[in-house]
Each structure stands twice: as structure tokens, then as C-alpha cells.
Structure 1
Amino acid sequence: MMQKKDNHTVILGNGVAGNSAASAIRKENENGSITMISQEPFPEYRACVLSKKYIAGDIEWEKVFLKKLEDYSKEGIKILFGKRVTRIDTEKGRVIINDNHTVSYDKLIIATGGKPIVPPLPGVDKEGIFTLKSLQDAENILRFSGRKVVVIGAGPIGIEASISLRKRGWQVSLVELMSRVLPTMFDEKPSSVLEKRMEEYGIQVLTGEKATGFQGDKRVQSVITDKREIECDMVILVLGIRPEVGLANEAGIEIGSLGGIKVNEQMMTNVKNIYACGDCVETRDVITGKNILCLLWFNGKKQGEVAGYNAAENGRNFHGGMIVGGVDVLGTNAVSIGHTKSSLKGARLKVIEGETNKVYHRLLVSDGVLVGAQLIGEIPEIGPLVSAIRRHDSLKKIRSILEDGSLLSLNPLYIKL
């Protein structure tokens, strides 16, 4: 059997995709060299806890991290953190860093993640206006002397940030352009229940309202919408994430129609020896077969593993992703799997609502096959339901899963719809 070459692999990014790629490479090859480059100075951390626990004060700084800096050297990974790659030289097989240092590679894995969307509104550059994507963003928010905050964007991070800051005693207004909170995850009925919980907690929820600008001198003093002016001393923008593809695009790597890097099932790009994974790529929706941006931790982890194994010359495939999201709204667990009515606009859908084992479920069925599910209650295990949707199981099989008492149970905070 031919011995595998001890390649030098360079990984751009220190999130879940980049670290999963590094772990996969090391499992396959103990001797190959790995260099990880990240603009952030921190070791790998749990980005998912920033809005839910860290800014609420529920966990300490040390608990945010998944690794220590010394862990990388133990795994034989050279780290260049706090460094910004300015160019990928595909002809010479190297990357150029902002201090003019160059790093050559045999294989390159791009795991640059995504960047927060910042709308070009008047006054958006004023002091006191933040995004919430990175650990440094969270630190900036906590260090700022604001106590009256407007959160713009009612997705999962916006919901969690609003609740966290309200826990701290701050006055919170949540502004959402769409007609409901969590509009990409839930249809109107379950969304309205979650919105009511937030309002009962003292959060002002303003849906169907568009932010048009920011007032104040040097520092923000109010948010202007198409309906009112909201006084504040801080604004948090959580309007979604765009794939970070600037380096890839400049290097001639193909970008898809949705703005993510195009890859095949081996996570290979159109340029030889270059792979991409995580939030910076487009992937195939296992339900519709169309390309989607699947900016989720689990997808990033699996894609990173596949990219790493293939860079180490052990063929693996990533067969596609699916949107699976969950949020805890003041003790009420809510999970969305697959599509909503709005994401499948124009499709002929059958909606089935009910209560099984005291958990509300809303199922979306197309041509006898489940394409989306929304659940509210205590949901300890969704794996069987996710797998069933991925397999395109019939509605009859799905019903048997929902009726399995070990899958869905109730906690006292459940709200009957």
C-alpha cells in the first residue's frame, strides 16, 4: 500500500470548521505539519454561548473557551493567531500575511467563516453601535457604559441577546423588519407565542418595523425607524451573517450565486489542493436539492471533518446540509427543522398541527414527504426526526417517531397553543 505523503496543510480560520479539519488531519496523519492562521487572537471558543450566557453574566470568561493555546502545540499544530492573511497565491502555493510573512502549503483549507451584516444606514458608524458575532464583540458590548439598548434583528442571536441584557436589568427594545420574531425558523403561530413570552419579560418587541438610521453626536442616542424614534445609548446589530469570501474570490476561487464558496462533496474548490468548509461555503439542501447557506455549528463541524480527511487523502463526502435551529426563550424550548412556509413560498404544502406527548408540533408536508417541523416544549432528542427528514421518510413513518414517548416530553414551562 502506498504511504501517504506528509503534506503541510494551512488552515485559515480557528472556528469549529477549521478545528474539525485539523483534528481530522491529525487522526489520519500524525507526522504531517499543520499551520492554523486566524485574525482572532483567541484559542477556539464556543461562539454559541456569547449571546445566550456570556453577555448575561451566566458564565465566566474561562468557560467560553474550548481549548487553551498550549493545546495546539500538544496536537502538533503551529498557530499564527492575531494575523490577517492578505492574499492567497495559488500559483506558488502560499499565503501572504499582513506583516509580509509568507506561509507555503501543500494543501489549503479555507474556513474563514462569516462576517456580520452591517447595513449602510445614516449614523451606523457612531459610538455605541455593535455587532455580536465574535468574542471581541461581546467584550466590547460588556465594556460599554450603556443601559438602554436597541437590538436590531429578531433571529436566534437577537432573541438571546435581548433576553440576556434584560436579565442584567437593561431596558431592551427589539426591532424586526419581518412581521414576526424568528422569521426564518418559525411560522406565525409558534412565533407569536415566543414573542408573547418576551413581552411578558419586559422586552419591547417591535415587528414589521424598519430601522432607517441612527441619531446622536459622536455617540448613538436614538434609533430612527419608519414608525418612531427609540431613545437608547447602545445598539446591537444582529442582521445575519455573510460568507467571508474576499480572499477566495481574489484568488480566483469560484463563488456561488448565494455568495458562498462553491465546493463539491469532498469540500474541494475549483482550484487544485484548496478546500473550503463552514460558514464561508454554499452547500446542498438535502430536502430540496438546491444550494443554501447553512451557517450552523453542526454543518461546519461535519464539513470541516470532510475537508480535513480529504486534505489528508482519505476520501470522505459531505452529502448536504439542513437548517436545524433551536432557541430557549425564557425556559420555553423551540426547535425548527428544515423549511418554513415562507422559505418554500409557492410550494403546495400541507400543514399538520397537533400535540403529541404534550409537545406542540407543526409539520409541513410536500408530496407526502415531511419538509419542515417546528416543535415547542422540552425536546430532549431531535436526532430521529432530523434523520427521518434527511431520509425523506413518508409521513406515516414520521408520525410513529412523534408518537414515541422517549422522543418528546413536557416540562412545566410548556405553553399550550
Structure 2
Amino acid sequence: MSSVDLAGARGLLRPAKPRAALRLGDRLNVLDRARTPVVFAAAAVALLPLLRPGGPGATAPVDLLIAFALAACVFWGVNSEERWHFPYAFAMFLFLGGGVVGALAGPVPVAGITALIQDVFLLTWCWAVLNICISTSNMRILLRTWAYSSIVWASLLFLGLATGTTALTGRSSNEAGRTMLTFGSPNVAANYLFISVMVIWATGHPRRRLFRFAGYGLLVAALISTGSNSGILSLLIGVAIAALLGVYRRAGTIATVTTLCFLLLGGYAVAATLSVKSIQDRAHYSRYAFIRDGIGRQAESVAQRGSILHESIHLYRVGGPLGAGPVSTKARLRAEQAPFVKEAHDDYFAALNERGVLGFLGLALLLGGVMLRALSILKKPVATRELPMDLVRPNAIVGAIAGTLVAMALSELLHDRHVWALFAFVAALALRRRQWHSSEPS
């Protein structure tokens, strides 16, 4: 090669190096921007139980990480070409609209508007998690983060029980011996632990069976220590529904009906053999506080819920179809000198009494949309049996939703961050399932 050719080659190569380096740098910057939301979201998922100490307006320490995740997600979305998705928007528009109408005419308008701001914050948290989880790898990271971090939290709870550290157990004089971690409510803690069991079941993580079953044991024991009857009920119902759906996916309708018959016969045999009242009496005098304040108080709990139900029906009759605004139940009961003054004890009557018919319709559409999306992830792809999201048992996610919907009839859970994270995972899985089906050959 001549000197002229060498000089020409050098001239061509020299400007190409900076351009190649620039392209590589741009790709790395894009990668860093895309990774930042996942990091903050994973940290927020890992610290979902960190709600104490509480701040003004029902804020919590984990909200700082959620805010960082939201900001990073918005920054990433603005600078990327990814399409954004906003599920549950219409249902929440009705739900929030009912809350606005009720708050403006209700007895506690300021507190009502504050609650509506919290609803918007939770909805944006859901949207952020969903859009982050459009990536299959991001979904795996967040689900596995939930699975492993929940085991750590359960371990911390038992460490607190062993050392008498109330900051870890959450025990207080108001709740006697019931544990609640850092949630501030035994029922909310129980729901988180229940969903965590189902997430581990769905993902198959930890991979080693011994560690996985040890995690199940820790979480179930932690749930029992909360003394939450709604948590135990949701666990039983969620596991039963997930098991039936698992049989249906593997063996079809006949095997599912057969399994259901065996479950019903087994349940009837247990109910006919055991005396529920004697179990409650023994639990009432148990030396273990969580048994005494859990199963042992079931009769009292049923009586209280009956009183709350009658009060809720009365509030709807005197309040009208527009509602009285979020968090107005306690103020209204106090004004009427009701015998049992407390905030709404379930999400369904809370929506009807506080947000009116419009808000209740929004709640029905929201939960119906969540359940339909959850059921859609059970469908197997046509061309392959592989699941697009590395979800070993999607039926467990459906069980988590079903158990949570049952628990919402016994306690207020709709304003909890982990519930909206679950809604986001369901929406992301359903979206990826539709994309998966549309890409398969017909």
C-alpha cells in the first residue's frame, strides 16, 4: 500500500473514533437513565413495610423512595421512545370524582382533599411500576425483590420478638400482643405477608426448595403472629383458589371439579369434627398473646363487625347517594353519638358512604379490571408453553388478588402502597401477555 493510501486511510479513521465513542457514550447514558428507575423502584418495593414513623398527611419513610422512583421514571420516559400505559384511569377518575363531590359537601373537607391527594400519589406509583415493568428483566427484578425482601422482613419480626424490640414487632398497648412490623396495623401487615407468600409461589424464588419452604414457614408464622382473622381468611381463600386454578391449567376442567369436590368434602368433615367454639375458648385463655388476641377474640370481632355493618348501612341511608367525603365516617359517627365510633372498617362500604354511588362504581370498575387482567395471565401461549415473564405459577397471582379482595371486605386496604404495587404487576403481566399473544403465529 502506498503512502497516499495510508494517509487516506488515516484520514478516514481519525474522525470515526470520536463518533463511535460518542455513540457508545449515548448508549451508556440511555442505559443508565433506564436503569435508575428500576433501582429506585426495587428499593421502594423492598421497603414497602416501612410506614413508621409516620409523617404529616399519612406520609411514610418509604414515600421518599417512591417519589425518587416516580421522578426517575418520568425523566426516563420523557427521554425515551417507549409508549406509556395508564391502566385503571377511567375507574380512578370516577373514584376520585366521587371523593371530590363528597369532600366538598362533607364534614371534613380538608382531610377529604388530603385523602384524594394520597389516592393520586398511589395511582402514579402504580403507573410508574407498570411502565418500569414493561421490560421483562425489570419485572423479574421487582418480583424477586419483593420475594426476598419479604423473607427478610419476616426474619426481622421474629428477631424483634426474640429481643423484645417493639420497633420491629410493632406491638402497642392498643393492639395487645398482636404484631404489625412497621405497618401500624396488624391487618395491613397480614395482607402484605399473605401477598408475599403468593409472590414467592408465583415466581419460584428462592430457587432452592428448602429455602423456599423455609420462607413460606417464616411468612405464615409472621402472619399468624399478627392475630389478623382477615389475614388468615385471605390466606386460606387465596391458596385454595390458586391451587384450583393451577389444577385447571395443568389438567383441565374435570380435574378441577374433582379437586373442588374433595376440598369441599374435606372442609365439611373438618367443620363437622371440630368444635369451633371450643377452639375459640381455648384460644381465649391461651398464654400466647397473638393466639389470645387473634383466634381468641373472633367472637368479639364478629360482634363488632356486625355493629359496624349496621352503622354503615345507617350512614348510607341518612347520607344520600353523593357520599360525605373520604375519612368522614368517624366524624359522622361521633356526631351521631354512635356506640362504636371508628373509621370505616372495609373498602366497599367506605367507598359507598364516603364517595357515594359514583365512587362505588369507580371502585367496582377498578377491582373488576384488576381481576380480569389477573385471569388473563392464566392463558397459555399458543406456540409455546414458555411464560414471557418468568412467572412459574401465574395462578398464585390470581390467588393473591382474590384473597386481597376478600380481606378488603374486612379491613381498609385500598390505600396501601403494596396493594397498588400488586395491581401494577397484574397490569404489566396482562399487557405483556397480550403482546406475547399478538406476536405469536396464528
Shorter-chain TM-score: which interval? under 0.3
Q: Please state which structure has a larger fraction of its residues in strand.
A: 1
Q: Please state which structure has a larger fraction of its residues in helix.
A: 2
- TM (normalized to structure 2)? 0.22
Larger Rg, first or second structure (1 or 2): 2
Higher RCO (CA 8 Å, separation ≥ 6 residues): 2
- TM (normalized to structure 1)? 0.23
